[in-house]
Amino acid sequence: MRHNKDKKSLNRTSSHRKAMLSNMVTSLFRRERIQTSRRKAKEARRVAERMITYAKKGDLASRRQAARVVRDKKVLQKLFDNIGPRFADRDGGYTRVLKMARRSGDNTDMALLELLPKDAKKRGKKQSMKNYRKIEIPEDPVKAREKKMQEEAEEKRKEEEAEAAEKKKEEEEKKAEAEKASEAEEEEAQEAGKEEEAEEAVEEKEEEEDSGGGDETAEEEEEKKEE
């Protein structure tokens, strides 16, 4: 008899099934979205929601219970620091299973298992099956985060390039000003040298004139003595 056996064996032994579900749940918390068969997704959802309930409690005993399934320390830290507080105001229903096209090859029913976003609204009254709703698959949160990081890096790179260009322009302006100042100093020095040369020439000329006048007076005195 199958009394109190509500789990699916998934055609695996107990140890294999536990290891597989542990890996699936760890990947779900790391990437926040996984693609698998519909039967595996429904079984993994049960384990994942139990782990999120432990994360909401946040005590040491709950952390040890979750660590038996989530073996990766970084993922466990993310579970208790980010994912648990995200669903603090939500009573169950932390994940959803979206049906996808059948897998080519073995025609297996495929599904997308993902965590609900932070701003997800609670479901209201169930609608009739006659009114089909269009399900929009949201963007992968990890890819969105990577895209945002790339945009921030691009903006930072542009800012750094603009700052480098501005600094280069300032340096060129300072260099041009220094060159102009040095040219002005050289011109002033040349003008001062020319003035000094002119003054020296005038002094030499005056000295020559003075020496010539002295010779003439000496000759005149000699002529007077002879007379």
Put simply, whether the predicted model's pTM sits higher than 0.75 gets the answer no
Nearest to 14 by CA among 22, 2, 24, 26: 22
What structural domains does the chain harbor? 14-118 (3.90.1030.10)
pLDDT in tens, the chain (227 residues): 878 887 888 899 999 999 999 999 999 999 999 999 999 999 999 999 999 999 999 999 999 999 999 999 999 999 999 999 999 989 889 999 999 999 999 999 999 999 999 888 776 666 666 666 677 777 788 888 888 899 999 999 999 999 999 999 999 998 888 888 888 888 888 888 888 888 888 788 777 777 765 555 566 666 666 65
CB 36, CB 113: distance < 8 Å:
yes
